[in-house]
Structure 1
Amino acid sequence: MSIEKQKNYKIAVIGNPGSWSTEKLADELYERTSFRLVVDPAQLAFDMQGRTLVAGNTDLAELDGLAIKKIGPVYSPDMYNRLEILRFFCSLGKPVFSRPEMVMMAVNRLSCTVNLQIGNIPMPPTVITESRDEAVRAVRKFGKAVFKPLFSSKARGMLLVEDNANCGSAIANFQASGNTAMYIQKMVQIPGRDLGISFLGGKYIGTYARRKGNSWNTCTSNGGKYEPCEPDAETINLASKAQDLFNLDFTCVDVVETEDGPMVFEVSAFGGFRGLYHACGLNAAGMYAEYIINQLESRQ
């Protein structure tokens, strides 16, 4: 059954052309507005003198709004450049979901962690340092630690380091591979899963779990599986407090259940549709499209 067209809004999706989540959101917006456009953020062009922001033949200032689903195929410092360009779009009075400055706070693992710590959100013990000696001390203190790149998703580039004879060389290789500042987090005991607790407009909409396979992490690209989950009120409340610090329109809070209670790994800059869809049967992309249109309607 087709969805009745709601408004003739022109809303472009900033994301990775061809990727499931980007295309899904573009499809859901099209079903409601009859307009569909996916913009590769690498194709943005900002003309300061002309005060224009274009992508190909499209003047984005002529659109009603933008929805940021992804800002590139890989996480990197280039994201900041693209987000700064999109911040100009906001200065024109055009709505962007989520606002670029809010995304900036979450897209870098260190920035996200600092914001969570300022907000007194419990997290696994973590050390950030450029010193290899301090990194070795951290591993010795933790016994087993996960080294995480500051820009990464889906466990890409993460390294599990144990307190053994190979510890120093593993750390040196990790730092030499482009990780000047090393983000070192204690490997905490978990019940074989972590949780993706999702929010739309600051309101809780559902949770999926990632059950790990044969890897040390729960990432689906490493054999993890999505499954439905209903966390207790304490866990949902913690995730809600964490996402409140970032004011993102759609996000997912990664939470781990530990012997010391729930702890937060991170707040996602973009959130994920796939886990909610496969585990819970929730069409989060459709819900987000409805939310965006309602927000535009409220501005009228």
Structure 2
Amino acid sequence: MPKIGVVGTPGGWSSEKLADTIEQKTGFRLLIDPEKICLDLDSGSAWYEGRDISKLDALMLKKAGTRYSPSLLDRLEILRFLNEQGLKMFSNPYSIMRVLDRLSCTVTLKQGGIPMPETTITEDIECAVEAVEKYGEAVFKPLYSSKARGMKVIRRGADALKEIHDFKMENDFMYIQKKLDLGGQDLGVAFLGGEYMTTYARCNDNGDSWNTTTRSGGKYKACFPSDETIALAHKAQKLFNLDFTCVDVAETKDGPVVFEVSAFGGFRGIQTASGIDAAGLYVDYVLAKV
């Protein structure tokens, strides 16, 4: 049987789930903390806990780190080197890099004709103030984050300038989106090998939270979206050539819009809402490729 490693977070639910699933199907288990990989460029070897992982048959990339930041791109560069040396990876590190940076992902989606919320990107505080005035209510987002970490809602008014200054202190670039009425939910539309798998909803009845993430009390529920929503999500994920991903979509009164395409996708939401073992299907997909 092939030896397939998982790059992920030791102790993380999805990473451990994926490593366990590979072990069940192949008898081999290796969960690799990307912070502890040592790449020798001259020999082309990459060491983790005494094993040269460049000699494995494949790697499945579940997480590049516990905290989203530009350093994740550097870790992915190490993996990209190994991939281009011939080590099979799912998904391709370069494809992941294109969605990991929120701005890079947004530019690709807009150039691909994907409808998104109205968005302003700037380093200039005056321009940011004008965006808030235009939108009335805006969500300021770090370029590297997940589950709404570091995001801030800023409303038109006397406090807007100070709140923008505060956000700017921690974020050189300000990624600003018009706040939409999500009706208490948004969707994760999942794809495996470019083919539609299922959809789950993130729902939040907590009136104190503007987002639906599980960090803010959101719950996963089954969802059966329109053909229009599935078609839009399919078009969005196709731009990035990821082996497994979830597209974050909101269904608005003007039709579906895409927030982002996930770098790694989520197993828990799929399993909780649909009862589908996404990890098992993903490993079967990789085994067929390897």
TM-score by length of structure 1 reads 0.95
1:168 aligns with 2:145: no
Pick the aligned partner of 2:65 from 57, 72, 94.
72
1:187 aligns with 2:179: yes
User: Partner of 1:243 in structure 2?
Assistant: 237
Deviation at 1:110, TM superposition (A): 0.3
Counterpart-to-counterpart distance in 1, 2:172 and 2:57: 41
Counterpart-to-counterpart distance in 2, 1:79 and 1:145: 27
User: Partner of 1:265 in structure 2?
Assistant: 259
Whether the 8 Å contact between 1:76 and 1:151 is mirrored in structure 2 is yes
Moved more, 109-118 or 88-97: 88-97
Aligned partner of residue 251 in structure 1, secondary structure: strand
Whether the 8 Å contact between 1:213 and 1:222 is mirrored in structure 2 is no
Counterpart-to-counterpart distance in 2, 1:285 and 1:257: 27
Where do 5+ consecutive residues of structure 1 fail to align?
1-7
Counterpart-to-counterpart distance in 2, 1:255 and 1:205: 15
Give % identity.
53
Counterpart-to-counterpart distance in 1, 2:213 and 2:73: 25
**CA root-mean-square deviation:** 0.7
Counterpart-to-counterpart distance in 1, 2:205 and 2:126: 33
Counterpart-to-counterpart distance in 2, 1:132 and 1:189: 25
Whether the 8 Å contact between 1:213 and 1:225 is mirrored in structure 2 is no
User: Partner of 1:3 in structure 2?
Assistant: none
Write the mapping of 1:93-104 to structure 2, written as runs, cut at 5 A: 93-104=86-97
Counterpart-to-counterpart distance in 1, 2:157 and 2:56: 57
Whether the 8 Å contact between 2:17 and 2:279 is mirrored in structure 1 is yes
Deviation at 1:53, TM superposition (A): 1.2
Counterpart-to-counterpart distance in 1, 2:29 and 2:231: 36
Counterpart-to-counterpart distance in 1, 2:147 and 2:231: 24
Counterpart-to-counterpart distance in 2, 1:135 and 1:50: 48
Counterpart-to-counterpart distance in 2, 1:160 and 1:228: 28
User: Partner of 2:137 in structure 1?
Assistant: 144
Counterpart-to-counterpart distance in 1, 2:181 and 2:253: 8
User: Partner of 1:210 in structure 2?
Assistant: 202
Moved more, 42-51 or 260-269: 42-51
The letter of the residue matching 1:55 is Y
Counterpart-to-counterpart distance in 2, 1:62 and 1:49: 15
Counterpart-to-counterpart distance in 2, 1:213 and 1:133: 35
Deviations 1:224-246 (A, max 9, x none): 11110010100000000000000
User: Partner of 2:13 in structure 1?
Assistant: 20
Aligned partner of residue 70 in structure 1, secondary structure: coil
Counterpart-to-counterpart distance in 1, 2:125 and 2:183: 31
Aligned partner of residue 270 in structure 1, secondary structure: coil
Deviation at 1:213, TM superposition (A): 3.2
Whether the 8 Å contact between 2:44 and 2:54 is mirrored in structure 1 is no
Where do 5+ consecutive residues of structure 2 fail to align?
none
User: Partner of 1:45 in structure 2?
Assistant: 38
The letter of the residue matching 1:184 is I
Counterpart-to-counterpart distance in 1, 2:250 and 2:124: 28
User: Partner of 2:288 in structure 1?
Assistant: 294
Deviation at 1:194, TM superposition (A): 0.2
Aligned partner of residue 190 in structure 1, secondary structure: coil
Deviation at 1:259, TM superposition (A): 1.3
The letter of the residue matching 2:165 is A
Pick the aligned partner of 1:108 from 92, 101, 112.
101
The letter of the residue matching 1:282 is I
TM-score by length of structure 2 reads 0.98
The letter of the residue matching 1:48 is L
Moved more, 188-197 or 259-268: 188-197
Moved over 4 A (4+): none
